Amino acid sequence: MKNDNLKIAVYICHCGGNISDVIDVKRVSQELATYPNVVIGKEYAFMCSSTGQDMVIEDIVKSGINRVVIAACSPALHEATFRGALKRAGINQYLYEHVNIREQASWVHKKDKEGATLKAIALVKAAVEKMARQDELNTIKVPTTQRVAIIGGGIAGMRAAISSAAAGLDVVLIEKQSHLGGKLKRSSAIYPTNETAASVVETLEGLIELNAKIKVFCNAKISSISGFAGNFQINFEFDEAKTEKVEAGVIIIATGFDHYKPYEGEYAYGLSNRVVTLPVFIDIMGTSAEKKLIYDGKTINRIVFVHCVGSRQIDGIDNAQDNGKVNDYCSRVCCSSALFTINKLKDKYPDVDVMDIYSDMRSYGMEHETYYENASKKDILFLRRPLEERPTITPLPDGTFSVKTVDVLTWNEELELIADMIVLVTGMIPNEITDLLEYMKIPRSSDGFIQEVHPKLRPVESANKGIYIAGTALGPMDIIETLQASNTASSKAVALLSQPEIHMDPFVAVVEEDKCSGCGLCPQECSYEGALCMRETDVNGNVKMVASVNQALCVGCGACVAVCPTRAINVAGWTLDQFDAMVEAIAKG
Amino acid sequence: MTQITNNITDVLVIGSGIAGLQSALDIGDSGYNVTIIEKSPSTGGKMISLSKVFPTLDCASCITTPKMAAVLHHPKVKTMTYTEVKAIRKISDGFEVDVEKKPRYVIEEECISCKKCEEACPVYLDDEFEYGLGVKKAISIPFTNAIPQLPVLTESKCIRCGACAKACPKDCIDFLQEPVSMTIKAKAIIAATGYEIVPMGTKKEYSGDTLLNVISSLQSERLLAPHGPYGKVLRPSDGKIPDNIAYVQCASSRDKSIDVPYCSRVCCMYAIKQAMLLAGALPLAEITIYYMDIRAFGKGYEQFYAQARAMGICFVKAKVAKISEDTEHNPILRIDRQEDGSKPQDQTHDLVILSQGILPTRKDFFGLDVALNEYGFIQSAAPTLSPALTNIDGFFVCGVARGPKDIPDTIMEAGSAAMEAVNYIKGKM
């Protein structure tokens, strides 16, 4: 296809040797320079340098170049850079194609220089063919609602509310219970500050009450969530019969965690009142009398703590949970929390003997190691069990318990301990939020907590743009970590809503209405609710059913394109004609 | 010394490791101006030198460079590399920060990063980016994917032969360049100053600074990196491919004798990750990890640990008492096993990696009286309300500067500090 109006420039980047050490860049640029519609073929050390970019701009301005192809690194790295250069040169930024000949050619074919060079030539030719069929495109602009809806009024939600409001956004805080504060609405002390949990909540509550930008709804039950980044709608009931509809640009999920509840018989749980979980024990200790620990009508003298109850479970050793899987993750906070509690216990009741059965002591936080050390100084008997061994706990007729465990520290001897109370150090499990996740189309990770986009670099972003996650809805974390995650989620919300409009790339489905037969196959394939539907439309005076795209909801996945029998639907910038031409160019080599 | 003044920014970020990069991006994305001050010639901090990251096994280069590039191109973010903070003064509406840009001896605006100077230079030096495992030229671009791609001339080692100046097609080598001082006014500051590992000789019993085949965990990151110093895993003494490798955990953490009583949080996971990468690179090698407690507490970490065990990595609960070597430079570990009750025994390996702990890079903050905790990391002033706050109004902290932590935790702190800084500025407006 030769078109006199097309003036394509092709640049091959050396990437300082990353590419040119393997690929014969001169040969690639020379071969492309004579390819149809190409008027400039050059190679250069670093196209991304300001000199490289200036070269592109100069060619556009002086030689009337109207399409640009650069073969370099990954587009994730510098596609935006070169689009910016096109913009500065005064042409449409989408008349640009970035070919990755570093990760996809020079790096992977280090030992085959000839093959890598041929591959680069074929890939660049394909890009030229694509650009020969590329139209100008414009970014999609979606107006935003300057409001954040936060689901969950524990400390994660409260912190996110305060930060978002301080940044100037309206905030709606939706809580299912009758009060804010979630799991921390309790009088026990917390590490590392030793203040009461409730005081953390009170401080945050005070800041929320003072802030006119934050509206709190308690006793709320969400019935639907719809919309897209910048424009979500949440419907919910609150205070029994009242209903409310909230429009929000961003949603922050701060639905927290639940405590693992052992099943009956798990380490004798449910067989005696004196087998309790750690959170219950913390409450018992907080309210019990001074000097003697009396519980269930009995003076408690010997307590055994068992770590990793409901955490670090192993398939084939532990029972599966309701979801059919074992909890194979570590709950992160329980070791430090147990050690902190044991220190409190020994301070209040120095005469109580404490034995602690663990596998790996994960007191990872900076101060946490001192809890471990202090507990050791207080003569706590630590018993280390092998990873695969489980202690057996049997209630005895006299009301005490026999605890049998293998102890690594005494060279794998099986020891029997007698105790009059058992504390099961239970972990965290995800809260039951299946409905909410379905409304928002957000996946869970294998541990059942919410899946982030990238666990390393984007830990608070969900798969659904404009929905962020704060706190333990993501996975186990302590109070400080929760607050940090919440603030980061707010920071993402503020960034997204910092402009009155969200700008999105135009690579979304586009329908040629006169070609559309109205068969209705494509909406069935669409995974993004509301992105594609059949709508009665006037096409050149002829009213008929045609496919219609909501550009804000479409992600450009192309599932609709694949099923269209008439080639009436295409993803802008990635049309079937472009693909055909690219495949042909690659096949020719 | 040239003096430039009147630089004004909203937030000044000290450090351009992943903490500094992310906080700068978050602030810039919120519409505020940021200036990053980085003492090294490239952005990227420690993360850019890592091999792969746990538990996703993403290539560290591949996920750090986009952040570095995003900062480079961000209209709201200005980065000053090879620039040191000299003094910070608190003033009524923020801070005055004196900085000094060090001379690269290259005219930055003219340089086209062609590397001709580097090729021409006859002087080889130890490469600090490779932690001494490789060499670089006296004038060189710091590493392959450095940003900016500008060479630095190590003035103290340059023999003034002029080869670089002759080779430069743009005539931009300037042997007479001088440091440039300037003062920047910022409304808020974020300290993202990161960490150093504990020096290798600190634990005397391990002789990490003298035994040739006892290397640090950051050195082994380079051995495993796709563009590392040797291109494959070789041991330093003789270039032999190791086949019996050991990791010593808590080599300088959880150890009162060397004043690092705390857990460094990342060593268990990076050792597991490195062991998995080694198992991939050297399928026949035996890999042993000597540990006290495996602290795989982050999201997906326990599962990663289980995967390593399934791959045949050998985990031994043992404390290493002492390391010596035989005549072939094979390290000999005196170990005390917890599990099977045997007496202390000697175990020979051919390469040993010390999982070095983490120390704060800075304990003084340029004249500001920043409160530190007992271990020298920056202290949170309100940990259960706003953990990014320090004792100094308008001075925030994130990442390892506040205490050891991994990359996801650092990213979450970076966003948090950014949020606090933005709201602080907004509150002052």
Q: What's the confidence (pLDDT) of residue A45?
A: 82
Which one has a higher pLDDT value, B191 or A239? B191
- Helix or strand holding residue B94 (H, E): strand B94-101
| Number of domains chain B contains | 3
Q: Which ranges of A304-410 would DSSP assign to H, the alpha helix?
A: 334-348, 368-377
Same domain for B65 and B125, yes or no, is no
Mean pLDDT of chain A: 95
Q: What's the rounded mean pLDDT across residues A198-204?
A: 97
Q: What's the rounded mean pLDDT across residues B179-205?
A: 97
Q: What's the confidence (pLDDT) of residue A63?
A: 96
Q: How far, in Å, CA of B61 to CA of B124, rounded?
A: 25
Q: What percent of chain A has pLDDT over 90?
A: 87
Q: Which chain A residue is nearest to residue B73, measuring alpha carbons?
A: A81
Whether A405 shows a pLDDT value over 90: the answer reads yes
Q: How far, in Å, CA of A569 to CA of B72, rounded?
A: 38
ipTM reported for the complex, 2 dp? 0.96
Asked if the Cβ–Cβ distance from A16 to B67 is below 8 Å, we say no
Q: Are A184 and A197 in contact (CB under 8 A)?
A: yes
pLDDT band at B1 (very low <50, low <70, confident <90, very high): very low
Pick the last residue of a domain from B300, B330, B358. Answer: B358
**Residues in B touching A425 (Cβ below 8 Å):** none
Quickly list DSSP for B362-414: -S-BTTB---B-TTSSBPPSBTTTBTTB-SSTTEEE-GGGGS---HHHHHHHH
A369 touches chain B (CB under 8 A): yes
Same domain for B297 and B313, yes or no, is yes
Which one has a higher pLDDT value, B2 or A154? A154
Q: State the CB neighbour count (10 A cutoff) for residue B222.
A: 23
Q: What's the confidence (pLDDT) of residue A494?
A: 97
Q: What's the rounded mean pLDDT across residues B130-149?
A: 93
Same domain for B242 and B341, yes or no, is yes
Q: Looking at CA atoms only, how far is residue A558 from chain B in angstroms?
A: 26
**Residues in B touching A204 (Cβ below 8 Å):** 385
- Given this chain, do its domains A147-256+431-501 and A261-285+293-427 carry the same CATH topology? yes
The A residues from 483 to 542 touching B (CB cutoff 8 Å) are 483-492, 494-495, 498-499
Read off the pLDDT of residues A74-113 as tens digits, 9 standing for 90 and up.
897 789 889 999 999 999 999 999 999 998 999 889 889 9
Q: Which chain B residue is nearest to residue A166, measuring alpha carbons?
A: B423
Specify whether domain A1-138 bears CATH 2.40.360. Answer: no
**Residues in A touching B418 (Cβ below 8 Å):** 488, 491
Q: What's the confidence (pLDDT) of residue A412?
A: 87
**Residues in B touching A384 (Cβ below 8 Å):** 338
Same domain for B91 and B109, yes or no, is no
Q: How far, in Å, CA of A248 to CA of A215, rounded?
A: 13
Q: What's the rounded mean pLDDT across residues A172-192?
A: 95
- CATH number of the domain that B396 lies in? 3.50.50.60
Whether B62 shows a pLDDT value over 90: the answer reads no
Same domain for B339 and B414, yes or no, is no
Q: What's the rounded mean pLDDT across residues B103-110?
A: 96
Q: Give the start-to-end residue ranges of the domains of chain A.
A: 1-138, 147-256+431-501, 261-285+293-427, 508-571
Asked if the Cβ–Cβ distance from A411 to B408 is below 8 Å, we say no
Hey, of A487, A498, A499, which one would you mutate to test binding to chain B, going by the most B CBs within 10 A of its CB? A487
The CATH fold of domain A508-571: Alpha-Beta Plaits (3.30.70)
Same domain for B258 and B307, yes or no, is yes
Whether A577 shows a pLDDT value over 80: the answer reads yes
Q: What's the rounded mean pLDDT across residues A64-70?
A: 97
Q: Which amino acid appears at position B287 of this protein?
A: I
Read off the pLDDT of residues B276-314 as tens digits, 9 standing for 90 and up.
999 999 999 999 999 999 999 999 999 999 999 999 999
Asked if the Cβ–Cβ distance from B423 to A455 is below 8 Å, we say no
Q: What's the rounded mean pLDDT across residues A299-305?
A: 97
Same domain for B171 and B185, yes or no, is no
Quickly list DSSP for B337-371: ESSS-PPPEEEE-SEEEE---EEES-S-BTTB---
Whether A231 shows a pLDDT value over 80: the answer reads yes
**Domain at A147-256+431-501: CATH code:** 3.50.50.60
Q: How far, in Å, CA of B355 to CA of B377, rounded?
A: 20
Pick from A166, A411, A474: CB nearest B340: A411
Least confident residue range of A127-131, A237-241, A347-351, B81-85? A237-241
Same domain for B317 and B341, yes or no, is yes
The count of CB pairs under 8 A between chains A and B is: 204
Whether B226 shows a pLDDT value over 80: the answer reads no
Q: What's the confidence (pLDDT) of residue B338?
A: 78
Asked if the Cβ–Cβ distance from A479 to B384 is below 8 Å, we say yes
Mean pLDDT of chain B: 95
Q: What's the confidence (pLDDT) of residue B3?
A: 53
User: By three-state DSSP, how is residue B29 classified?
Assistant: helix
Same domain for B173 and B292, yes or no, is no
Same domain for B21 and B47, yes or no, is yes
Hey, of B57, B63, B254, B423, which one would you mutate to test binding to chain A, going by the most A CBs within 10 A of its CB? B423
Whether A41 shows a pLDDT value over 60: the answer reads yes
Pick from A81, A329, A487: CB nearest B415: A487
Beta pairing partners, A330:
none
Quickly list DSSP for A284-303: HHHHSPSSS-EETTEE--EE
**Residues in B touching A166 (Cβ below 8 Å):** 423, 426-427
Q: What's the rounded mean pLDDT across residues A33-46?
A: 94
What's domain A261-285+293-427's architecture? 3-Layer(bba) Sandwich (3.50)
Read off the pLDDT of residues A512-555 as tens digits, 9 standing for 90 and up.
999 999 999 999 999 888 899 999 999 999 999 999 999 988 98
Residue B64 structural domain: 2-99+179-194+361-428
**Residues in A touching B409 (Cβ below 8 Å):** 481, 484
Quickly list DSSP for A180-230: S-GGG-SSSB-TTT--BHHHHHHHHHHHHHH-TTEEEE-S-EEEEEEEETT
Residue B208: CB partners within 8 Å, gap ≥ 6?
B200, B201, B202, B214, B216, B251, B323, B354, B356
Q: Which chain A residue is nearest to residue B67, measuring alpha carbons?
A: A77
Q: What's this model's pTM, rounded to 2 decimal places?
A: 0.91
Same domain for B48 and B187, yes or no, is yes
Q: What's the confidence (pLDDT) of residue A323?
A: 87
Pick the last residue of a domain from B358, B380, B411. Answer: B358
Q: How far, in Å, CA of A53 to CA of A49, rounded?
A: 6
Q: Are A518 and A544 in contact (CB under 8 A)?
A: yes
Least confident residue range of A141-150, A284-293, B123-132? A284-293
Same domain for B161 and B215, yes or no, is no
Asked if the Cβ–Cβ distance from B30 to A195 is below 8 Å, we say no
How many angstroms from the chain centroid is the CA of residue B186?
A: 26
Pick from A45, A77, A195: CB nearest B114: A45
pLDDT band at B122 (very low <50, low <70, confident <90, very high): very high
Whether B168 shows a pLDDT value over 50: the answer reads yes
